[in-house]
Structure 1
């Protein structure tokens, strides 16, 4: 009987409180009387954020019996429909008949697996309970559709794999020490972070071979379940090749039409429109984040080629196998992911391309507030000239004089012609921008 399964799952989760978890930089609010949504890529720690919130509630005096947690990825609940979701409330009320439902804190994990779940959440929120937390791995279900269905009720806390600050916390690296030996450990930790995976489970797995197996498993699950199954794509071989091509072109403007021509030249059948849809889908499932070219003309901006950044350097390396020139690509990806973590709702990240290039243009509202160039090493004079020229040209074009170059370990303030440019080591920049 499904109701008994629901009761069992609720009781098991209650018995685990308080949860043994490592703190994250982000914390979900408690007592906000809002629907709190936690979208993000698979295995990035969304459930952990909800467990941290539960620990905070219990520390504030809330009884564990007032916690209703249900994970809809349990295979025994897969047959549920939105009409069946009322069984969850009924099951809880039968377990705890003396607890008013308005005093319950509801945590629904991977609820997007139930079709039309958002209408159930909205009805419960408006009628019974104001303390609701939902998380899932599909951006469309937890952003666009949710916003329209819930009409402004949710607060969204998008979640990512570990930041460098969190990575240091997970691996026991001291980020506040001024001792030289600790600073050396910090620099070594940064190079590992930049090269390897930041998924929490991977970071806590000591075996490199086991890490590789897990990363391939993550990739296959995203590809087969989140992408192919959810969006009903049957051409698995082509979609796998398409995703790998996007991965291989990391940090560069990517022509979907160019990939289409390449696929057709191999005698494979796929529609060009399908590829453009797939490009949207891989961002919807959080495997990639894309940015457009900066242009004052919205029409020209929309016609430009997008850049795609991968959610995790380690997963990309596991799928493609490491390349000798990946340090710089990884660093640009690392910097972008941190920018994406810390950006404000009004912020927009794009790239500049004119006679030269600048990696990131940060807009806040209508103003460009910062330009960022990323390079692994500027010791080569040609590289140094290219990076500095790129950020200076972008400064002239955008009118922004807040100029930053992020490198592996160089630190300086330089003046180039009429522009002052700050150069900062990546590990220091990452820790300052949490």
Structure 2
């Protein structure tokens, strides 16, 4: 709400995007509450959820335009238009642009596909919208809600639950019970795959898609290429061109299931074009469909830190300085920080590797090593933080 609030009531179209069930519809309700508190009358609201079957007849631009024009005509003041899962409407971009031009209105849209704000929209709405990605809960958000269900739970215990359950908001309604939560997260996963990936991209080979998703899910935070997946599939008896694999991965990215992170050569100052990393939108979904989060805890730590960087508005790349690798380089306006993530700094060799990764970087931006260790091992201007402390710190600069 802190990011959205400055734009409420303004002429820019507010677009809320993100993985299915991350809380976009709830955010629309919170915006409505803010408007009501500021004196706007509820009669000024027009709200349509296009995944509701009763609104199927409005999933065409002309039909939607006719309906909204009729309803806006009965509103004497500014109209507030809320459209949930707008991507279900054919030619929705033309329709929304028409509302913006024709009516005195404030428009909010949500969508579960990254293509929502590309292609056609670049033509019709360029410079006239602002996007907010709605992510599953951070550890801080999760903790606040968890304590309303189980008061007085200590921070360590909450973090353990967060590692396996993830941050999907609805889990609190299930009181974080293990089996119902697992079932719910599996259902989200199936819904994303079938509705937002298979159906939207007309994918015929669903079995191939599921194999590719399984590979990426198992290897979050690991550098690999489409060629590596192609070789893996060949060992499974399937011959698939790397180009096909890249198209399937892009469809997963568009559905906000995975986020790709490019690699940067810090010495050559260039983006490397091979072997990217991928992270999953919610590590709880990984546990539900694959399991093994506690076994792969170092990768889950990376996934959690990466999503936290995105939440806070950083652009994130993976660094390479000579032969040394930096887990994350995070940049935002004139800010920058470096983050190394490890499970435990259990040996002198591990400590040397994690802190030593910064050896060739001579700038004065913050350099963090984040791990599960409680004891502060900061040295030579490089900061060591327990992962819970790091996630709950308001300002990393």
Aligned to 2:390: 429
Within the candidate set 187, 196, 201, 2:170 is matched to 201
Aligned to 2:354: 387
Aligned to 1:3: none
Within the candidate set 311, 315, 329, 1:361 is matched to 329
Residue 381 of structure 1: CA displacement? 2.2
Within the candidate set 405, 409, 413, 2:369 is matched to 405
Aligned to 1:339: 309
Instruction: Check 1:25–1:318 CA distance in 2 against 1; reply closer, same or farther (3 A cut).
Output: farther
Instruction: Check 1:202–1:404 CA distance in 2 against 1; reply closer, same or farther (3 A cut).
Output: same
Within the candidate set 248, 260, 269, 1:290 is matched to 260
Instruction: Check 1:431–1:143 CA distance in 2 against 1; reply closer, same or farther (3 A cut).
Output: farther
For 1:301, what is the secondary structure of its paired residue?
strand
Residue 172 of structure 1: CA displacement? 2.2
Asked if 2 retains the 8 angstrom alpha-carbon contact of 1:195 and 1:330, the reply is no
Please state if 1:272 is matched with 2:236: no
- In the superposition, the TM-score normalised over structure 1's length comes to 0.83
For 1:335, what is the secondary structure of its paired residue?
helix
The whole-number CA distance in structure 2 between the counterparts of 1:351 and 1:146 is 33
Asked if 2 retains the 8 angstrom alpha-carbon contact of 1:358 and 1:390, the reply is yes
Please state if 1:37 is matched with 2:1: no
For 1:339, what is the secondary structure of its paired residue?
helix
- Report runs of 4+ in structure 1 exceeding 6 Å deviation: none
Residue 379 of structure 1: CA displacement? 2.6
**1:246-267 residue CA offsets vs partner (Å, 9 max, x unmatched):** 1111111021111112213333
Within the candidate set 104, 107, 125, 1:132 is matched to 107
Aligned to 1:21: none
Residue 168 of structure 1: CA displacement? 1.7
Aligned to 1:77: 55
Matches within 5 A, 1:61-140: 61-79=39-57, 80-93=59-72, 97=74, 99-100=75-76, 103-140=78-115
Asked if 2 retains the 8 angstrom alpha-carbon contact of 1:40 and 1:160, the reply is yes
Residue 81 of structure 1: CA displacement? 1.4
For 2:15, what is the secondary structure of its paired residue?
strand
Instruction: Check 1:297–1:194 CA distance in 2 against 1; reply closer, same or farther (3 A cut).
Output: same
Aligned to 1:233: 203
The whole-number CA distance in structure 2 between the counterparts of 1:38 and 1:323 is 29
- In the superposition, the TM-score normalised over structure 2's length comes to 0.91
Residue 173 of structure 1: CA displacement? 6.5
Which 5+ residue runs of structure 1 have no aligned equivalent? Answer: 1-23, 175-180
**1:259-308 residue CA offsets vs partner (Å, 9 max, x unmatched):** 11221333325332111111212111110111111125899624221100
Asked if 1 retains the 8 angstrom alpha-carbon contact of 2:23 and 2:134, the reply is yes
Asked if 2 retains the 8 angstrom alpha-carbon contact of 1:170 and 1:204, the reply is no
Residue 225 of structure 1: CA displacement? 1.3
Aligned to 1:373: 340
CA RMSD of superposed structures (Å):
2.5
For 2:166, what is the secondary structure of its paired residue?
coil
Bigger drift between 264-273 and 327-336 goes to 264-273
Asked if 1 retains the 8 angstrom alpha-carbon contact of 2:167 and 2:284, the reply is yes
The whole-number CA distance in structure 1 between the counterparts of 2:208 and 2:224 is 17
Residue 323 of structure 1: CA displacement? 5.0
The whole-number CA distance in structure 2 between the counterparts of 1:143 and 1:192 is 37
Instruction: Check 1:252–1:133 CA distance in 2 against 1; reply closer, same or farther (3 A cut).
Output: same
The whole-number CA distance in structure 1 between the counterparts of 2:239 and 2:104 is 50
Bigger drift between 268-277 and 329-338 goes to 268-277
The whole-number CA distance in structure 1 between the counterparts of 2:282 and 2:371 is 19
Asked if 2 retains the 8 angstrom alpha-carbon contact of 1:348 and 1:364, the reply is no
For 1:307, what is the secondary structure of its paired residue?
strand
Aligned to 1:161: 136
Residue 27 of structure 1: CA displacement? 4.4
Residue 155 of structure 1: CA displacement? 1.2
Which 5+ residue runs of structure 2 have no aligned equivalent? Answer: none
